[in-house]
Structure formats: structure tokens, C-alpha cells
């Protein structure tokens, strides 16, 4: 049976600006009176918006949430380039070049589809065992390997030609650097560009309108975590096919017996599977090796 004494699920949080994702976890440990928490997708301190938080035994799935498309609203300013590619950085170049809405829209198709990005120096990518942002803070610039990214939609939703400030809405795959898109866009136009704000509006099937602020959660959870606040843990694993076990197989599985494909019926080919017991409760994630179903993580 599931351990009903500890909440289990996904908490949809609206991350505040100037907080790291770890800051959010630290605060929520006090709000929820729980230690076992983790986040399902880092956001830069400058960014706000959707931050899935893993609660209870859901933290066992840290790093296993499948990549999913994400959506952002990003503010930008043209005529300014910074070392961080956002407004918090040191100014590198400025330009007085006039830019029209039509000039921007003419360049947007270059950044839709599969694109190549050079990871910014102020990023968490590791080179030689150190994070790039650590090297950048030491004043170092190192050679980086370009990476593929996928942008499915890039739309200019607002632009002021006098201030050269505007807003983009972006749908993209995991690992896409939105600020690099803006930096590259500005360079393509010929004036430079930097990101002024970033809001993640969708991630792992969670939309911003379903998220709670830290202040709201502090009020909602004064007397504990109310029923219905947490999303089911399997809600972020929809990309993995499911395996449903009968009563006998459920008992064997919980006892650590490695089931074969015949016992795990209708198991299509996949990296991981959502495994459900006879009572309909998600037991965890599993994978096949040598035609045996082996547990990757469990919730019981």
C-alpha cells in the first residue's frame, strides 16, 4: 500500500523573481513542514513562472521527468548587448540603430525549427568539471560546443519602435536558451539585443494559471497540505507508456521479483514505464533489461 502519512505528488509553483529554484525549495520546506522536496526544472533567478516541485517520494523521480516542450513570454530590448545576455549583466555594446517591427519579424523565421545555440558563459553547462557561470565570474571565457535546440513557435506580440522594447512568446524544447535567441536575433538585425524579463508559462503539462505563489501556499497550507492541491505524480510522466499489473503480479513486483514481459502485459518498447498496481496506484517507474521488468524507482 502507499504510505498515506506523507504527501506524494507535484506542486505547481509560480517562482518569484530573484529567487533561485533552490531558494523556492528551501522556503517550501518551512511552509509544508516537509524535507523531502525537489524541483523539476531549474529557472534562472531572473525568471518567474512555472516551477514543478516534487513532493514526498516523488523526489525519487528527480532527473527522470521526460523532456517536454515549454512555453515562455520574454521581454527584450534592442540596441544593447550584455555579458549575461540579459538585463542583469554588464553592458558590452550599445547601438542607436532604428529597428522597425517589420525588421524583427523578417528575422524570426531564422530561429524557428531546429537551431544551433552556443551555450552562454553564464549558464550551468559544465566544461572541464566547472560550471560555465563559475568560470564567467572568474572573468574567464572558454571554448564551448554548440548545441541543437528546437523552437516550434516564435511570435512578436508587442513592440515599441521608440524604445526598441518588445515581447516574444516562445514554444521550445528543453535546453533552449531564450536569452541566446534574443542575443542572436539582435546580432542578426545588426544592433544587438538583450532579455529584460522571462516568464515560463508552461512546463511538464503545467500552465501558469494553475500555479500558486509562495504567499498563496503559505496561506493555503497553514493547517497542512489540503486534498487536491498536489497534482498526481504520474501527471508529468505521460510520455512514458503504462503497465498495469494484476493482483498476483502486484505482490510479486512489490516484493522485488523481476517480472518478465509475459507477466507485464502490453508493454510496448520504451525507455521507462509507469507501473500501476491492481488498486490503480502508481507504484513507480520501471524499465526492461534482459526481458525482465526492473524497478527504477518506487512510491510504496
Q: Would the pLDDT of 136 be above 80?
A: no
Higher pLDDT, 2 or 159: 159
Q: Would the pLDDT of 3 be above 60?
A: no
| Range of lowest pLDDT (89-103, 134-148, 209-223) | 134-148
Cα-Cα end-to-end distance for the chain? 6
> Which helix H or strand E contains 280, and what residues bound it?
none
> Which helix H or strand E contains 178, and what residues bound it?
helix 178-189
Q: Nearest Cα to 190, choosing from 81, 54, 60?
A: 81
Q: Please indicate, yes or no, whether residues 277 and 263 belong to a single structural domain of this protein.
A: yes
Percent of the chain with pLDDT over 70: 96
What was the pLDDT predicted at 267?
Answer: 62
d(CA 54, CA 69): 19
> Grid coordinates representing 214?
509562495
**pLDDT digit string, tens, across residues 57-112:** 989 887 788 777 899 999 999 999 999 999 999 999 999 999 999 999 999 999 99
The predicted model scores a pTM of 0.88
Question: Buried b vs exposed e over 67-89: b needs ≥16 C-beta within 10 Å?
Answer: ebbbbbbbbbbbbbbbbbbbbbb
Note if 44 is an active site residue. Answer: yes
Q: Is residue 169 part of a domain?
A: yes
Q: Residue 259 maps to which CATH number?
A: 2.30.130.10
What was the pLDDT predicted at 43?
Answer: 87
> Dihedral through CA 201, CA 204, CA 207, CA 212, nearest 10?
-100
Q: Would the pLDDT of 2 be above 50?
A: no
CA distances from 246 to 201, 255, 274 (A): 39, 14, 14
d(CA 212, CA 191): 38
Percent of the chain with pLDDT over 90: 64
Q: Please indicate, yes or no, whether residues 166 and 125 belong to a single structural domain of this protein.
A: yes
d(CA 203, CA 198): 14
Q: Return all residues near 30 (Cβ < 8 A) that are at least 6 apart.
A: none
Q: Please indicate, yes or no, whether residues 24 and 123 belong to a single structural domain of this protein.
A: no
Q: Please indicate, yes or no, whether residues 75 and 191 belong to a single structural domain of this protein.
A: yes
Catalytic residue among 3, 18, 44, 279: 44
Q: Is residue 221 part of a domain?
A: yes
Q: How confident is the model at residue 266 (pLDDT cuts 50, 70, 90)?
A: low
Q: Which residue has the cell 524499465?
A: 287
What was the pLDDT predicted at 268?
Answer: 67
Higher pLDDT, 287 or 1: 287
Could you list the residue range(s) of the whole structural domain that residue 258 is in? 240-298
Phi, psi of 28, deg, nearest 5: -70, -25
Q: Return all residues near 114 (Cβ < 8 A) that are at least 6 apart.
A: 148, 149, 150
CA distances from 191 to 73, 82, 121, 196, 225 (A): 22, 12, 21, 16, 50
Q: What is the mean pLDDT of residues 265-276?
A: 79
Q: Please indicate, yes or no, whether residues 141 and 249 belong to a single structural domain of this protein.
A: no
Q: Report the domain count for the chain.
A: 3
Q: What is the mean pLDDT of residues 224-246?
A: 89
Q: Would the pLDDT of 4 be above 60?
A: no
Q: Is residue 4 part of a domain?
A: no
Q: Nearest Cα to 43, choosing from 119, 113, 118, 124?
A: 124
DSSP-derived secondary structure for 75-142? EEEESEEETTSBTTS-EEEE------HHHHHHHGGGGSEEEEEPPPSSSS-EETTEEHHHHHHTT---
Q: Would the pLDDT of 1 be above 50?
A: no
Q: Would the pLDDT of 19 be above 80?
A: yes
Three-class SS of 206-248:
EEHHHCECHHHHHHHCCCCCCCCCCECHHHHCCCCCEEECCHH
Q: Residue 56 maps to which CATH number?
A: 3.30.2350.10
Q: Is residue 253 part of a domain?
A: yes
Amino acid at each position: 500500500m502507499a504510505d498515506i502519512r506523507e504527501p506524494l505528488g507535484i506542486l505547481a509553483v509560480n517562482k518569484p523573481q530573484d529567487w533561485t529554484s533552490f531558494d523556492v525549495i528551501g522556503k517550501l520546506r518551512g511552509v509544508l513542514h516537509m524535507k523531502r522536496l525537489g524541483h523539476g526544472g531549474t529557472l534562472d533567478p531572473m525568471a518567474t513562472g512555472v516551477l514543478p516541485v516534487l513532493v514526498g517520494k516523488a523526489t525519487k523521480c528527480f532527473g527522470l521527468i521526460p523532456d517536454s516542450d515549454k512555453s515562455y513570454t520574454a521581454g527584450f530590448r534592442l540596441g544593447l548587448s550584455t555579458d549575461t545576455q540579459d538585463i542583469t549583466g554588464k553592458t558590452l555594446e550599445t547601438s542607436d540603430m532604428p529597428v522597425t517591427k517589420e525588421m524583427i519579424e523578417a528575422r524570426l523565421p531564422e530561429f524557428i525549427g531546429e537551431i544551433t545555440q552556443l551555450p552562454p558563459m553564464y549558464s550551468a553547462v559544465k566544461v572541464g568539471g566547472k560550471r560555465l557561470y563559475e568560470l564567467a565570474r572568474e572573468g574567464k571565457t572558454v571554448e564551448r560546443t554548440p548545441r541543437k535546440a528546437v523552437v516550434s513557435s516564435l511570435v512578436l506580440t508587442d513592440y515599441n519602435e521608440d524604445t526598441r522594447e518588445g515581447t516574444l512568446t516562445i514554444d521550445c524544447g528543453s535546453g533552449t536558451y531564450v536569452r541566446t535567441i534574443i542575443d542572436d536575433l539582435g546580432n542578426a538585425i545588426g544592433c544587438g539585443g538583450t532579455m529584460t524579463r522571462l516568464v515560463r508559462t508552461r512546463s511538464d503539462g503545467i500552465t501558469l494559471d494553475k500555479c500558486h505563489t509562495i504567499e498563496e501556499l503559505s496561506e493555503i497550507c497553514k493547517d497542512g497540505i489540503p486534498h487536491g492541491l498536489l497534482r498526481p505524480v504520474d501527471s508529468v510522466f505521460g510520455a512514458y507508456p503504462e503497465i498495469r499489473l494484476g493482483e498476483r503480479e502486484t505482490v510479486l513486483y512489490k516484493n522485488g521479483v523481476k517480472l518478465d514481459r509475459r507477466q507485464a502485459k502490453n508493454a510496448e518498447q520504451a525507455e521507462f514505464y509507469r507501473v500501476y498496481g491492481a488498486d490503480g496506484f502508481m507504484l513507480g517507474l520501471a524499465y526492461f533489461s534482459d526481458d525482465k521488468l526492473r524497478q527504477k524507482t518506487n512510491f510504496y
